[in-house]
């Protein structure tokens, strides 16, 4: 009797631990994505415009900002290098409040903002399948994450 109850306790403990790991992965991915995504999702009232990339460094690209409506033009704004393909590119952006940093908008910007969540979903799929033994759920979560990553690659 002792043996089976301790084995059941170990199985429950493993499932709880793996469930917590999966939840932490997904929450961390969503939290990391939201840092950029909230500028796109909640863009009402923010400065909208178009950036023309003029120079690129290792991590950031810089360019000229042309506003859509009431905001003022800026001679130099920065955008993450992974978003801007290279010099001469033009794309719609929203300005991060209180800075000269911009975030790409539209479908490519939206997908790029949620990339950390996509990666977390792929990793969580392995934890769900291997640690929790929930194979169908793991395939669903992992496939959705991989689809998000592939869609981002294609859109950018």
In the structure encoding, which two tokens stand for residue 144, read together?
A: 């959705």
Contact at 8 Å (CB) between 48 and 70? no
Answer positive or negative: Cα dihedral of 81, 85, 89, 91.
negative
The arithmetic mean of pLDDT across residues 33-43, rounded, is 92
Q: Which domains does the chain have, with CATH numbers?
A: 2-40+114-155 (no CATH), 45-104 (2.40.50.140)
- 42 three-state secondary structure: coil
DSSP conformation class of 18: H
Q: What is the pLDDT of residue 84?
A: 56
In the structure encoding, which two tokens stand for residue 106, read together?
A: 């539209």
pLDDT in tens, 16-31: 999 999 999 999 999 9
For helices 115-131 and 2-41, angle between their N-to-C axes, nearest 10 degrees = 170
Q: Which residue has the higher pLDDT, 58 or 145?
A: 145
């Amino acid at each position: 009797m002792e043996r089976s109850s301790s084995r059941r306790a170990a199985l429950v403990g493993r499932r709880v631990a793996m469930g917590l790991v999966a939840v932490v992965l997904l929450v961390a991915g969503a939290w990391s994505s939201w840092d950029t995504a909230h500028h796109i999702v909640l863009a009402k009232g923010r400065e909208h415009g178009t950036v023309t990339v003029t120079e690129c460094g290792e991590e950031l690209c810089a360019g000229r900002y042309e506003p859509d409506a009431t905001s003022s033009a800026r001679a130099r704004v920065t955008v993450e290098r992974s978003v801007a393909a290279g010099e001469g590119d033009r794309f719609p952006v929203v300005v991060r409040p209180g800075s000269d940093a911009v975030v790409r908008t539209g479908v490519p910007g939206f997908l790029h903002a949620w990339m950390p969540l996509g990666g977390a979903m792929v990793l969580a799929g392995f934890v769900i399948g291997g640690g929790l033994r929930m194979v169908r759920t793991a395939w669903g979560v992992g496939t959705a994450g991989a689809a998000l990553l592939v869609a981002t690659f294609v859109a950018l």
